[in-house]
Structure 1
Amino acid sequence: MITVRPLRSTLYIPGSKPRALDKARGLPIDAIIFDLEDAVPAEEKNTARDTLAGVLAAGGYGARMKIIRINGLDTQWGADDANAARDMGADAILLPKVSTLDDLDALAAMTGDTPLWAMMETPLGMLNAAQIATHPKLQGMVMGTNDLAKDLHARNRADRLPLQAGLGLCLLAAKAHGLAIIDGVYNAFKDDAGLHAECEQGRDMGFDGKTLIHPAQIPVANDVFSPSKADIDLARRQIIAFEETEAAGQGVAVVDGRIVENLHIVSARETLAKADAIAALTAETTQ
């Protein structure tokens, strides 16, 4: 049995905005990053922490993955965020600007058994991604492409060529260690065509989904990162052909003129498992 948790759409929600936090309970998203960092002004940091604790205690988010992004431990709010987030019942705590393994060690010392996620958004973090991915409590990475572009002094390009080295290093690290990895945000939230193209790029690279800054972006991310009907049909036909070939004692299965080997069956079964998991989550979030 393959277990898949959909992460097609991961929406940032400010921890200081009760109305947005409540609205998120009804959105067709796979995951939520409850943000105590960039989306919350300095004067609201402490109240946001209390607001978020109350909201999560009230529940209502169903099977959506709940991730809390705290402030960095080098800030005046980070330690209090970490201690509070540990007791909020979230699925994971997300640490910004992870650059070394020591950054995660410092957080893990404060958060007990709560799984950790890492914001990958600094040049040093890119170079250390392989080491960072080995942390025993780390379960996922989120690309912070805006901060990375800033530190690189990179120009904004539709093909994201200046970011490809960093994206690739983090993808390799995540896949090598079985971690989830979510692509960075697309800033032009009214540009569906641009978002669609960037989601397709991220999907084709191997990302599990896209971080979003506005609910209007959800349908595009969900569509692009879901297996298509053609994907599902091909996966089923590959499995049937492979199993029939094995049962007949023949050597090679062929579907649509292409050889089907065991590695293709692994991918086919993952596709069907993802489709089933998405259907189950969709059924819950649309009730």
Structure 2
Amino acid sequence: MTHLHKPVRTFLFVPGNKPTWIEKAAAAKADALILDLEDSVPPDHKAAAREIVTSRLAWLAEQRQRTWVRINRTPYLYDFDDILAVVGPHIEGVFISKPMGVEDVNLVSAMLSEAEHRRGMPVGSTRVIPIMETARAMQFAFELASHERVAALSGATARNGDVERALNTVWSVDGRESLYMKSRVVMAARAAGKLPIGGMWQQVHDLDGLRIACMRDRAIGMSGELVIHPSNVPIVNAVYSPSAEQLAYYRGMIAALDQAQAEGRASCLYDGEHIDIAHVRTAREIVAAAQERGGP
């Protein structure tokens, strides 16, 4: 299976035709950038955007910025010019829009393999994250997640966006209409050992609404969010990171069970609750993930 080598809380979209925005985005403290060659770039700017993105990849790597690229789809293929331009050691992978099913991941995987071969890179090293924007892709979510190239599934929704059109849903503040779809993405991704990615909050200046939406996604099992404005990054990062108090609680839980096991018991009471090995396994994962991100 192909995994993200390090979890991602925030994927920040940046239009590929805006070089100054790309440079500013590197300071936003997003876990990863998505340099966009698709919907945020006007059609007559796409060739220039490809050149701009290609020219900034090495610089972003020097800034230790994790980087992905969203490529275009053509009538018959994904854009091979995009793939040839960006595949290399400075990106982790590509986002693909509007896949209909695993056949589209197979298609882009073959194109990536050719690009990797031409670049002298290990074939299979460029990851793929499908953006689940069609009803058929959602129906076959597990099959997409199971592909060896796929590192995560994006189950993001947006008001008046592709998902709303594909499912004929009506956007609401509480997100009830997207709960089943997002839960399906979470289940499929987790079953395949991959990560589910949520989002995408479009009311970028409504930071309270963003926090609530992120907390809903986090509660159903999402591991991170697609973000479209740098001001949203700190809030999303905070929602997907345990606080110092929470980490202290989980470390205390680990210590309590360690003591119980030293006394010959497999469970104990901690902070008034029964805990056992299963609870501490969760605690260890949370603490380890925070340490990997450089948390307290």
Does TM-score exceed 0.5, indicating one fold? Answer: yes
Shift of 1:14: 0.7
- For 1:275 and 1:190, locate their aligned partners in 2 and report how far apart those are by CA, in whole Å: 28
The residue number in structure 1 matching 2:98 is 97
The CA deviation at 1:256 is 1.3
Partner Cα separation in structure 2 for residue 94 and residue 64 of structure 1: 17
Instruction: Indicate conservation of the 8 Å contact 2:131/2:154, yes or no.
Output: yes
- Number of the residue aligned with 2:24: 23
| Aligned-partner residue type, residue 274 of structure 1 | A
Matched residues in 2 for 1:170 and 1:117: separation?
12
Q: CA deviation at 1:99?
A: 2.3
**CA-to-partner distance for each residue in 1:64-89, whole Å, 9 max, x for gaps?**
42111101243687221122222363
How many residue pairs match? The answer is 279
- Report if aligned partners of 2:83, 2:112 keep a CA contact under 8 Å in 1: yes
Q: Deviations over 1:153-192 (max 9, x none)?
A: 2112112111111111110011111212211210100101
Identity, % of aligned positions: 29
Secondary structure class of the residue paired with 2:151: strand
Q: Say which of 232, 235, 250 aligns to 1:220.
A: 235
Alignment of 1:77-226 (within 5 A): 78-87=79-88, 89-112=90-113, 113=124, 114-145=126-157, 146-226=161-241
> Contact 1:82/1:111 (CA < 8 Å) preserved in 2?
yes
1:285 corresponds to? none
Deviations 1:257-278 (A, max 9, x none): 2111222112111111121122
TM-score (normalizing by structure 1): 0.91
In the superposition, relative to structure 1, how do residues 80 and 185 fare at CA in structure 2: closer, same or farther (>3 Å)?
same
Segment drifting more, 20-29 vs 59-68:
59-68
Corresponding residue for residue 277 of structure 2: 262
SS at match of 1:188: coil
Q: Is the 8 A contact 2:199 2:214 kept in 1?
A: no
Q: Matches of 1:61 and 1:75 in 2, distance apart?
A: 35
Q: Could you report, residue by residue, the CA deviation over 1:203-249 in whole angstroms, capped at 9, with x for unpaired residues?
A: 11111111111111112111111112232112101111111111110
> Which residue identity does 1:139 align to in structure 2?
A
Deviation per residue, 1:23-80 (Å, 9 max, x gap): 1221211111111111111001111111100100233564442111101243687221
Q: 1:262 to 1:62 in 2, by over 3 A?
A: farther
Query: Relative contact order (alpha carbons < 8 A, sep ≥ 6): 1 or 2 greater?
Result: 1
For 1:245, the equivalent position in structure 2 comes to 260
